[in-house]
Amino acid sequence: MQLTGADIVIRCLQDEGIDFIFGYPGGAALHIYDALYKQDTVKHILVRHEQGATHAADGYARATGKPGVVLVTSGPGVTNTVTGIATAYMDSIPMVVLTAQVPSHLIGDDAFQEVDTVGITRPCVKHNFLVSDVTKLAETMKKAFYIASSGRPGPVVVDIPKDITAQVAEYHYPELVDMRSYQPRTRGHTRQISRGLDLLLNSKRPIIYTGGGVILGNAEAPLRKLVDMLKYPCTSTLMGLGAIPASNPNFLGMLGMHGTYESNMAMHDCDVMFAVGARFDDRVTGELSRFAPDARIIQIDIDPSSIGKNVSVEVPIVGDCDMVLSQMLEQLQGRINEIDRSAVDQWWKQVNSWKSIDSLAYKTNDDSIVPQLVVERILEITKGEAYVTSDVGQHQMWAAQYYTFEKPRRWINSGGLGTMGFGLPAALGVQLAFPEETVICITGDASIQMCIQELSTCLQYGLPVKIINLNNQYMGMVRQWQEFFYDRRYSHSYMDALPDFVKLTESYGHVGMRVDKPKDLNKTLEDAFALKDRLVFVDVITDPTVNVYPMISAGKGHHEMELAPGQEEVQERELA
């Protein structure tokens, strides 16, 4: 069948089973938009800024596991996507970004709305293509989806010049692609797996440390089985929350800079560390020279370059987390008795004494709302079953600490790049994928303003996201660091002219609420969540002096956590 390039693009999306694309039209993309108009299987979501399109597609991808798709025009359309592409790249999110380009004969002429898209995006994509021949278009699209979704996932850009979208070619969408230069390994090496088990089963002070790779690799089932068999203490990175249910008795909570005391102490004192789909990020390890001094490390990762990058690993296992853990379970069946239970029990005693300090305890008062309480109330009202997106800063850490996730893909935030402005558009993408579910964006007064225009998109498509704005009138995390490390010189971290968020929300056609008294908090939140069909923006005025604890400061190790003021006494008493 002969089709134009524009029709080929849309047919490829249909054949790939894509239901939503997030985009914004413009000159070079007009042929594709015309092709989009003539069909209704692929639904286009018109955002208000291209950055919003990428975050929305990203949120959709994180929640569903399917690649998110973006369509934008050339030039500024492309440059506006760069933050969103880099966000997806840092967190290994499958995404295909279709960018229109000026006609082939104008490339390099500084044409209107021309940028070197392949050049600009190269450092923050898994791969990118410039289509120079319409007969290669369908195959390129297939490769883009294959590369984005396989191996360690990531964003792929396909740059399509306008003339290519007008040219005609025979349409054939390949079912499979075989690329000699790209063959991600999925099965783990059997011998390495048994070596890993040797180490793991002989451990006296083990810890299982899981990350975003478990979520991306849909490996929660074998992981949960393994954890239940081993009964070893487990911790998770920010990106891995929900893979092991927070209620699992072996789970110690999140680790890292704002992780729990017990997680970080167990990491520091362990003799064997089993890292699954986690990449030893600096926010997780603290100062590397003080990191887990006695640990012998086993690491599973699909990306060989993630192994041994920051920390040296004794047993590397390259492969897909789901596959490798399943292989490991097969070998484990007959070997479970090798575990030295009395040593592990002793270790648990130690871990439980750290746990008894309750490093996430916080104080409330009658005058002002403390932000941790807000997250705990939301948890109660939604019974822990909501999809929660966040922006970046203090609110993000409180959401991660106090909203306890029982399932994977429910916690959606920008971990690697730390992109403010991510939360609202991401929530939009999640709500489209799951119209019946409760989707919450926990945000702050600074972050929410970075992509606030997407309130308009939410109205257009009737997306009843619940936005909880923890409004402390500061860039809270910046303020916290300035308090701790810059002698309280609060340089430009105060928002002097905040909008009236309630009126702003109302002018976008949604429901706005404000609460500033602790006694009114429950009622307001309940009212907000009761409005099932409406987007509700709850502006929660919080105590601006509250800091995120516990904390590992720069240059410190896991065992040098600072607890919230007043908790040191508890620590001394409990550990005496």
Partner 1 sequence: MRRIISVLLENEAGALSRVAGLFSARGYNIESLTVAPTDDASLSRMTIVTRGTDNVIEQITKQLNKLVDVVKLIDLTEGQHIERELMLVKVVASGGEQREEVKRLVDIFRGRIIDVTDSTYTLEMTGNGDKVDAFLQSLAQVEVIEVVRSGVSGIGRGKRALSV
Is 50 catalytic? The answer is yes
CA distances from 317 to 230, 288, 302, 321, 408 (A): 19, 22, 8, 10, 23
363 contacts 264 by C-beta, under 8 angstroms: no
- Which CB atom, from 147 or from 339, has the smaller least distance to partner 1? 147
Span from 175-183, 384-392, 417-425, 521-529 in contact with partner 1 (CB under 8 A): 175-183
Q: Which of 143, 162, 355, 466 is catalytic?
A: 162
Span from 115-123, 330-338, 405-413, 487-495 in contact with partner 1 (CB under 8 A): 115-123
Is 113 catalytic? The answer is yes
Q: Where are the alpha helices (DSSP H) in 309-359?
A: 321-332, 341-355
Number of residues that bind partner 1 (CB under 8 A): 19
Q: Is residue 309 at the binding interface for partner 1, with CB under 8 A as the rule?
A: yes
Q: Report the residue from 43, 127, 172, 185 that binds partner 1 according to the rule CB under 8 A.
A: 127
Q: Which of 16, 20, 22, 50 is catalytic?
A: 50
Q: Is residue 181 at the binding interface for partner 1, with CB under 8 A as the rule?
A: yes
User: Residue 243's Cα: distance from chain center in Å?
Assistant: 13
Q: Is residue 177 at the binding interface for partner 1, with CB under 8 A as the rule?
A: no
Q: Is residue 106 at the binding interface for partner 1, with CB under 8 A as the rule?
A: no
Q: Report the residue from 27, 65, 308, 418 that binds partner 1 according to the rule CB under 8 A.
A: 308
Q: Report the residue from 30, 106, 118, 201 that binds partner 1 according to the rule CB under 8 A.
A: 118
DSSP state, 158? E
Q: Report the residue from 2, 38, 110, 123 that binds partner 1 according to the rule CB under 8 A.
A: 123
Is 355 catalytic? The answer is no
Best CA proximity match to 32, nearest among 52, 61, 3, 2 = 3
- Which CB atom, from 198 or from 303, has the smaller least distance to partner 1? 303
State the Cα torsion 41-52-533-461 to the nearest 10°.
-40
Q: Is residue 126 at the binding interface for partner 1, with CB under 8 A as the rule?
A: yes
Q: Which of 477, 513, 551, 561 is catalytic?
A: 477
- Rounded CA separation 489/483 (Å): 7
Range list of β-strands (E), 379-500 = 387-390, 411-412, 439-444, 466-471
- Rounded CA separation 444/475 (Å): 8
CB atoms within 10 A of CB 413: 25
- Which CB atom, from 115 or from 564, has the smaller least distance to partner 1? 115
Q: Which of 14, 39, 112, 183 is catalytic?
A: 112
67 contacts 96 by C-beta, under 8 angstroms: yes
208 contacts 263 by C-beta, under 8 angstroms: no
Q: Is residue 191 at the binding interface for partner 1, with CB under 8 A as the rule?
A: no
Is 179 catalytic? The answer is no
Q: Which residues bind partner 1 (CB under 8 A)?
A: 118-119, 122-123, 126-127, 130, 132, 147, 179-182, 303-305, 308-309, 312
List active site positions.
50, 112-113, 162, 477
